[in-house]
Structure 1
Amino acid sequence: MTKKTQLIIRIVLFVGTITSFFFVPWLLVWAWILPLPDTVQGQLGKAIEHGFDGMIVYVDQAGKTPQYFASGWHDREVKIPANPHALFKIASISKLYDAVAVTKLVSDGRLSLDKTIADYLPELVGRIEHADKISLRLMIQHRSGIPNFTNAPNFWAAPTQSYEESLALILDMPANFKPGEDYEYCNTNYLLLNKIMDNVLGYSNFLFIKEEVLKPLHLHNTFASLKEVNLDDVMSGYHVGHPLDLKTDEHGMLATAEDVGTFLRALNDGSLFDEGEQEIYSSIYKYEHSGWVPGYQSFAKYHKEMDAVVIEFYSTTDSKLYLWNLSEIINNRIVKILRKERNKQTIN
């Protein structure tokens, strides 16, 4: 390669870097480079300044009293301040609870990870491609290749309200890939898993989760739907460009940050499992999760190096996921603050 060619390549790379830099939203850059606040509460205040309507954080560090943080609005229309104990739509964090329920049913011999959609839902043979090859294990791990019903055009403008309506969005569609040959996050997997559990149990699988998970952990603020709660206890949710509060839209499970944190701690330390169950769970799913529905972003993660569970709820979303990227920056900064606090305590 000649020196002239090398120079041209360097110029092209430089121009490309500069160009891409200008396409990065400046607020993301600003949120990333700002000096780190001294406290978690200070970082929540910055999150509100960046455009979130409300935020809740719960921190459970081993050896310390759990901490509760909130900033912004619980309901911005009537100016009710954010409440750290408010109920929140946890969206896909609920998949962790589903995976635990499947684990317990497999351990009891009522489900098999190697049986297929054809075995449990024979009516879908010929309607879902490869139904005879898609096992429960592949569905739990998002390796089924089934199309995602929430990817249907304009889905979030008019979400489906039943199993039948949701399933109809993907029936007779070609698979995105052959079972087990790729990975694609897909809500249809868990739609079908929930139906299979309901059929095997003969009743709602959430009642099973309530008996086997929530009650033993004393989680009294985790619910299946809005029908079970007082709406005033639910944090309002807002979507950029949409004028109305989205609190009344039904999107599945709700919980307080504390309840999610208690569950996540028990999931990670294994205390919610009976003998042999944790080995099954570890072979099929992960130990952290995030969630998104219009108006609500949620994150649940265990940080092993600090032995800390951190739950973050944000009550504002947008269609381009700019606010999702912003929330991930804020989450990382919260963890940095917690590490700094921990290091100071260790030194002292």
Structure 2
Amino acid sequence: MKTMNILVFFLFCCLSSKSALSSPSHYNAIFNFGDSHSDTGNFLLTGALAYPFIKNFPYGETFFHHATGRCSDGRLIVDFIAESFGLPYLPPYLAVAKGPPVHTGVNFAVAGATAINSSFFSSQNIVLWTNDSLNVQLGWFKSLKLSLCTTKQECDEYFKKSLFLVGEIGENDYNFPFLFGRTTTQLRPLVPQIVGAIIRAVRILIEEGAVNLVVPGQLPTGCISAYLTSFQSANESAYDPKTGCLKAYNALFEYHNNYLEQELQRLREEYPHARIMYADYYGASISIYRTPKLYGFYGGALRACCGGGGPYNFNSSSYCGQAGSTVCKDPSAFVDWDGIHSTESAYHYIAKGLIDGGFISPPLLS
């Protein structure tokens, strides 16, 4: 009898734990924070002065057939996630901030945004595309929240059925210093600060009522044509023989991801009622770089579809959408869209890895 009581108690604890962390069978709203990998138009609405080419065709050519402010030829990961739950594409916050409330979700991401506040980079004489950092985006969310729900109970019920995507964010905290001459060795000590900013944002959102949160890691940025062109090396050992990507840069982003995973686990222990999911963007995409043709990317993985020429079709004097650049006939055959961002096809593959559960832990839906 004693053994039976212990077994019943154990099963009860397990079932209670699973219930506490169970996700809804469907999300009714999505709120997204991040940078150009998920911006659906905020940067464009600010004027896009630092990167005006996203206003031009062929951006958006594949799906929308016109430029939307997305840094791709078509849909992004966040678009595919919205589709999977039958939700409309997320409007950029700056397009709806002064209008009626949008209860199906809003996108706060801004191309060029950093996880750390922009003032830090200004103090280092590093010029950014935008000052709309993750902290600014959180401020936008808090302002919007006032129009979405009034009482704590109403907000709690609403946000229980909402999905919060916190990133990808942090890539620009490395990108811009690299452009200003910093090395991977110099930036490695910055990882705790960058990850700390992301963890702080997740904590704030949980305190605001978020329960279901996806926090993506970094992509293998050492594989993009902008890096391969700007940081090319005569030393063959600098490149991964399996992918052709720059090893030192990818090693830094793997270190970031490992650090982020560790900190997220601590956050799960701090907030056991929240469902904090780590999205492995790196794992979901690195296999493409190893065998691109196996995944249908016959144009290759390292050469940009749209660009101004050169070995990787990336030229900083002739960006995609600028005079002198050319675009491939079939973007779906390429992983790299413009040297910095991915094609719709590549984003779709990563999104499937999240939706199907292969590259997210715990699963998006239990």
TM-score (norm 2): 0.23
Q: Which has the higher relative contact order, 1 or 2, with Cα contacts under 8 A spaced 6 or more apart? A: 1
Structure (1 or 2) with the greater strand fraction: 1
TM-score, normalising length from structure 1?
Answer: 0.24
Structure of larger gyration radius:
1
